[in-house]
Amino acid sequence: MTAQNSVTPSADGLAASARAIKERGLPPVHKWNPPFLGDIDMRIARDGTWYYLGSPIERPAMVKLFSSILRKDGDDYVLVTPVEKVGIRVEDAPFVATDFEVSGEGEAQVLTFHTHVGDEAVAGPDHPIRVAIDPESGEPSPYVLVRANLEALIDRKSFYRLVEIGEHHEHEGRQWFGLWSGGRFFPIIPSEELTGS
Low-confidence ranges of the chain (pLDDT < 50): 1-7, 197
- Identify residue 72 by its one-letter amino acid code: K
Q: What is the mean pLDDT of the chain?
A: 89
pLDDT in tens, 152-180: 999 999 999 999 999 999 999 999 999 99
Q: What is the pLDDT of residue 8?
A: 52
Q: What is the pLDDT of residue 4?
A: 43
- The model's pTM: 0.86
